[in-house]
Structure 1
Amino acid sequence: MSETAQSPTAAPITAPAEVPAIRLRKLVKTFGDVNAVDGVDLDIRQGEFFSMLGPSGSGKTTVLRMIAGFELPSSGTIELDGADVSTKAPFERDVNTVFQDYALFPHMSLIDNVAYGLRVRGMGKNERRERAAQALERVQLGKFVARRPAQLSGGQRQRVALARALVVEPKVLLLDEPLGALDLKLRQQMQIELKELQRSLGITFIFVTHDQEEALTMSDRIGVFSNGRIAQTGSAHEIYRSPQTAFVANFVGTSNILTAGIGGTASGPGASFVVRPERLHLNWEATAHDAGHLTPGARVLAGRVTSAVYVGHATQVHVELDAGPTVIALVHGDVPDTDALKGHRVTVAWAEHDAVWLPDAA
């Protein structure tokens, strides 16, 4: 009987780390004396749907334009699949961009619009038209190949722009607020279609938006931009449930920011904490010592209603606390007549575990 012994000094075999689709290091872009992008470090994973979220002027679109090659960085590096492309022209980068205005050729049919990029690359007519037709089928427009852009709806034109960007099979697809011109229902429909398309293709999508709902709905991860920097990066759940700064708490959703000690809240790692409106519980009749149905240790404060706004799925109730600021509670289900609520005495309660501390709010 024989045994095979393994050397006790043998090093464990580890899988090599995956090279990010996009890697940004110390990225800076200045326009005159304005730092539009101020030292951004970011890794975007292969096959990830990554959203850059922030208000106008936060630097997100400038970062996207630098990745595309439309702007060159003042300093720092941009890597695509591990290769430095910081100074390369747009056509030298294996990325493609979909803009908000779609930029379709009005005099061309859909199939010619989609095939244009392949034509520029020197592909033969039959092959490029076949691939263009397949790309239009992928976005459910295969029966409209002979139409021109003016004969389509806004949502259909957006899908043509997507097909044109995808037909050249880029490693990374950049989307610069492509849903901004669509109405609400179509925008919500396209959010779902975009995410499903990205999953089926496995291509890295980088999506720029100022719309928090878009980012939360579609993204694997989100980078929240503020003043040229990334304030926080994480999944939609992490960004919403555990904001790390007051800016993120206020920009992504509605937040109630309260000071340490209010309502008997235990001390935490910062001077302030966040409670989301849906985590506040209103009691229309209770006293400040009654936590209602909440768990032991719930924090309860009295106040009066200053306004109530019906938003369809719920009612936003603004309550001026006796011991602090005005907070917003999101109430699902029936509430008393909103017109009669102003001045009504209520108590506001929250569970201790629903308070998220803001370390930076010192």
Structure 2
Amino acid sequence: MSQTTLSGVRETTAEVPAIRLRNLTKTFGSKGFNETRAVDGVDLDIRQGEFFSMLGPSGSGKTTVLRLIAGFELPTSGTIELEGADVSGKAPFQRDVNTVFQDYALFPHMSLVDNVAYGLRVRGMKKAERRERAIESLERVQLGKFMQRRPSQLSGGQRQRVALARALVVEPKVLLLDEPLGALDLKLRQQMQIELKELQRSLGITFIFVTHDQEEALTMSDRIGVFNNGKLAQIGTAHEIYQRPTGAFVANFVGTSNLFGPDIAASLYQRGGQFVVRPERLTLDWTASTAKHDGAASLRGTVTSLVYVGHATQVRVALEGGPAVVVLVGSDLPDEASVVGKTVSVSWLDRDAVWLPDGN
């Protein structure tokens, strides 16, 4: 299954998933009375040593799945395997996983080194050895020089690193992260995204990261599972999820998409169904020309508003006989007063239209 080398990096057998979920279901409430199905028949294999993100809105089931893997909740039905062993009914302390929470849950009266060493203390490790291991773990997250400080003397980002060090010091097979960056400001959150991914690569441990922030998932993940209504809507790499969403929910939740319905599909492509085009794949013609080009489509519309987002401007256009769309324009625009209300044409290449299965 797994072994630890002299370098301290765990080597694993690639054929056996780190985590395997089969028909995993969790319901809350009494059957037939106020029953809620939080997780609905989830099948998922998470590979050894990968950074896997569970992405979805509040109430989508992602956090419940994480709690089921950790053992904080027990499944209503289905199985959870850790490196091939069924742990579905085991208590949290019987599973070789560890969890980092959003609030970090550090002991305020303990120094950093004592906080990190606490898990080893519970496991009965001798004081000198657990202190040495705790110091090594703090050094790994670049906090060794602060080991005698209390949590209250640290910044939010530093406290987050301490929580990571404490979770990693016991060398779990899988590290579970429950929106650990949610309390940080934007700049620090972006910095910690990079540091987390680098740490995961250096350790070779499987990370399972829960977030509702699409940027976090796209930045860090080897693969992403997008959750909706207790089910997995799509699994894939960041590129696959963004460029080739398999449904309208994924297309709209992960980034921004412009959805074109059956009427436009029939008019432009003589086929049924729906398709989406990302804002950066659309182009504007301020002369409102809709001249036909091979492999491209074009529709007229009226500019309704501009939203400046720093690196570009979102131009919102109400298409004639079609939906309102967002076009991402990177170049300088005319004065806003002269643009809003102007008739323009919106074009895209046929290859950039992503068709959704079954019109959903």
TM-score (norm 2): 0.93
Deviations 1:33-92 (A, max 9, x none): 100001000000000100000000000000000000000000000000000000000000
CA contact (8 A) 1:258 1:273 kept: yes
| Mapping for residues 44-59 of structure 1, pairs under 5 Å | 44-59=46-61
Change (3 A) 1:267 1:170: farther
Cα distance in structure 2, aligned partners of 1:312 and 1:130: 47
Cα distance in structure 2, aligned partners of 1:338 and 1:98: 47
CA contact (8 A) 1:65 1:71 kept: yes
Match of 1:10 in 2: none
Match of 1:3 in 2: none
CA contact (8 A) 1:118 1:128 kept: yes
Match of 1:301 in 2: 299
Alpha-carbon shift at residue 288 of structure 1 (Å): 1.7
CA contact (8 A) 2:295 2:351 kept: no
Match of 1:63 in 2: 65
The one-letter amino acid paired with 2:44 is: L
| Mapping for residues 160-175 of structure 1, pairs under 5 Å | 160-175=162-177
| Mapping for residues 129-144 of structure 1, pairs under 5 Å | 129-144=131-146
**1:118 aligns to what SS in structure 2?**
helix
Cα distance in structure 2, aligned partners of 1:135 and 1:337: 55
Match of 2:269 in 1: 266
Cα distance in structure 2, aligned partners of 1:17 and 1:312: 43
Match of 1:360 in 2: 358
The one-letter amino acid paired with 2:287 is: E
Alpha-carbon shift at residue 259 of structure 1 (Å): 2.3
Cα distance in structure 2, aligned partners of 1:223 and 1:131: 34
Change (3 A) 1:339 1:98: farther
Question: Please, which runs of 5 or more residues in structure 1 have no aligned partner?
Answer: 1-15
Deviations 1:193-240 (A, max 9, x none): 000000000000000000000000000000000000000000000000
Aligned residues: 342
**1:192 aligns to what SS in structure 2?**
helix
CA contact (8 A) 2:14 2:47 kept: no
Q: Which runs of 4+ in 1 moved over 2 A?
A: 259-268
Cα distance in structure 1, aligned partners of 2:162 and 2:14: 36
% identical aligned pairs:
77
**2:345 aligns to what SS in structure 1?**
strand
**2:199 aligns to what SS in structure 1?**
helix
The one-letter amino acid paired with 1:132 is: A
The one-letter amino acid paired with 1:216 is: L
Match of 1:146 in 2: 148
Match of 2:21 in 1: 24
Match of 1:192 in 2: 194
Alpha-carbon shift at residue 111 of structure 1 (Å): 0.3
**1:360 aligns to what SS in structure 2?**
helix
CA contact (8 A) 1:314 1:333 kept: yes
**Bigger Cα displacement from structure 2, 328-337 vs 348-357:** 328-337
Q: 1:105 aligns with which of 75, 93, 107?
A: 107
Cα distance in structure 2, aligned partners of 1:29 and 1:261: 40
Cα distance in structure 1, aligned partners of 2:324 and 2:161: 44
Q: 2:322 aligns with which of 321, 324, 336?
A: 324
CA contact (8 A) 1:280 1:330 kept: yes
Is 1:35 aligned to residue 33 of structure 2? no
Alpha-carbon shift at residue 340 of structure 1 (Å): 2.9
Change (3 A) 1:260 1:351: farther
**Bigger Cα displacement from structure 2, 332-341 vs 174-183:** 332-341
Cα distance in structure 2, aligned partners of 1:172 and 1:28: 21
Match of 1:92 in 2: 94
Cα distance in structure 1, aligned partners of 2:46 and 2:270: 36
Alpha-carbon shift at residue 289 of structure 1 (Å): 1.8
Cα distance in structure 1, aligned partners of 2:86 and 2:254: 33
Match of 1:12 in 2: none
Q: Which has the larger radius of gyration?
A: 1
**2:216 aligns to what SS in structure 1?**
helix
Match of 1:217 in 2: 219
Alpha-carbon shift at residue 345 of structure 1 (Å): 1.0
Is 1:249 aligned to residue 266 of structure 2? no
Alpha-carbon shift at residue 297 of structure 1 (Å): 2.3
Alpha-carbon shift at residue 290 of structure 1 (Å): 6.1
**Bigger Cα displacement from structure 2, 86-95 vs 327-336:** 327-336
The one-letter amino acid paired with 2:112 is: L
**2:305 aligns to what SS in structure 1?**
strand
CA RMSD of aligned residues (A): 1.3
**1:265 aligns to what SS in structure 2?**
helix
Match of 1:7 in 2: none
Cα distance in structure 2, aligned partners of 1:222 and 1:288: 38
Match of 1:230 in 2: 232
Cα distance in structure 1, aligned partners of 2:268 and 2:245: 18
Q: 2:180 aligns with which of 178, 181, 198?
A: 178
Cα distance in structure 2, aligned partners of 1:360 and 1:81: 36
The one-letter amino acid paired with 2:282 is: L
Alpha-carbon shift at residue 267 of structure 1 (Å): 4.7
Match of 2:4 in 1: none
Alpha-carbon shift at residue 265 of structure 1 (Å): 3.4
Question: Please, which runs of 5 or more residues in structure 2 have no aligned partner?
Answer: 1-12, 30-34
Match of 2:8 in 1: none
Q: 1:82 aligns with which of 78, 81, 84?
A: 84
TM-score (norm 1): 0.92
